[in-house]
Chains A and B, each alone.
Chain A
Amino acid sequence: MGFAFYPQARPDVETHVLPDGSCLLFDPITCEGLALSIVGALVWDYCDGALAWDDIVSEIAGLTPQEPGVREEVQWFLKEFTQNGLLRQAAEIETVSPGSPELQG
């Protein structure tokens, strides 16, 4: 089981929440920013390593059942975090967080 199933935000990525609820992530390694909508900010908040990828999708979709396309949006953000290297790698999680769900299961 790899990092993709239990997304966990890299702790060094800076999270700037703006007054309108949107969020800017700043990666101090690449010095690049990633702007997130309110949904994106919520997805980032759920990336704590305790929830599986599919659970995050279900949880957030459940918060806004009236909103069509939320599942796809959450999936998109999770992929975006992954592709931008904003999530911790599996080996890193195993080393630093032996209590993470994938090791317990």
Chain B
Amino acid sequence: MSPQTTVRLSIGDALAIVTGLSPELAARLHDLMRPFVATSDAMPDGATDATPDAAHEALSNAVNIQVNAVADDAEDEDEDEHENIHEPRGTRWIVRLRGEELCSHTQADELLKYLEWLAIAESLVATQRYAVFHSAALTCAAATVMLVGPSGAGKSTLTLHLIQRGWRPLGDDTALMDTESGRLYPFPRCFHVEPAWSAQASAHADFEWPAGLVGYARPLHWATGGHTISAIFLIERDATSGSTCAPIPQAQAAGALLVQAIRTQLAPAQIAQAAVRLAAGARCYQLTNGDLDGALDLIATHSSLK
């Protein structure tokens, strides 16, 4: 039996503790979630990006995720799929959350993807300080924008291309608002990118490709500190026409944010107040995302604080 390690992840104001991973898997999880890592046995030099807070573990809701590796009795049907796995062949990993079994995986890559999702999802639910919205957010000079819209509206594509134009991301699908300051803080989770985009990795020098997972990329440079939102764009995809941008009432933007809010420990009324606070300080637009360049130009034009 290989030694087991623990990875502690500081996500929002919650702490996710992943135990039971082999050193190899822990190192890959560390790489995948490096900006969130508080401490990890996987790194012999103890190097971490997140700021460890001695009181953190005691004060926050801790999310305990246990992984148990067991021998898999099933036949190994496709040996090629295991070529990158450093675990013994025929291993099954059982994932438990607070002691309750959730699922099992036989592929290391799928296990890592699941652990990344589970740690983030459960930590956001446990957060007590942040209002969380399903939204992209970026900053450039004095402007900070939120891109709000349903899946498929083009938030991620716009985010990737705005980064190439010099914008710094706060997140591509999750926006964290500190309910005390009203400011948005970076959430440096890996982006989920299309295989075609990741296949051109060499063309995207501003990104790293953690843990060797296909479809996962992380910008090298992120916004830092808290940001006041200057503009909110409600994104609507319409490939049949050019891009357009029109002002909308702030209440409409607040309502859209409310729809995209993610459940946390905050009361629903507090989340509504957070949505209102964000919209109240911003200029709000409906952006019809037709042609990509047009949409990017409109965001740049309407996001300035002038």
Contacts and interface: CB of A to CB of B under 8 A. Distances in A.
B129 to A, nearest CB: 20
A85 B283 CA distance: 30
A28 B268 contact: yes
A19 B251 CA distance: 9
B258 interface: yes
Interface in A32-52: 32-38
- Interface bin, chain B: 10 to 19
B249 interface: yes
Interface residues of A, number: 19
B252 A22 contact: yes
A34 B268 CA distance: 14
Nearest to A34: B255
A26 interface: yes
A1 interface: no
Contact of B275 (A19, A22, A33, A34): A33
A36 B253 CA distance: 11
A24 B251 contact: yes
Contact of B251 (A14, A23, A32): A23
Contacts of B279: 18, 24
A18 B269 contact: no
A2 B249 CA distance: 33
Contacts of A38: 249
B273 interface: yes
Nearest to A31: B268
B249 A22 contact: yes
A69 B276 CA distance: 28
B10 interface: no
A22 B252 CA distance: 8
A29 B280 CA distance: 24
B255 A20 contact: no
Interface in B251-269: 251-252, 254-255, 258-259, 268-269
Interface string B226-262: 0000000000000000000000011110110011000
B251 A36 contact: yes
A34 B256 CA distance: 10
B272 interface: yes
A96 B246 CA distance: 44
A18 B272 contact: no
A35 B269 contact: no
B272 A14 contact: yes
Nearest to B268: A31
Interface of A: 14, 16, 18-24, 26, 28, 31-38
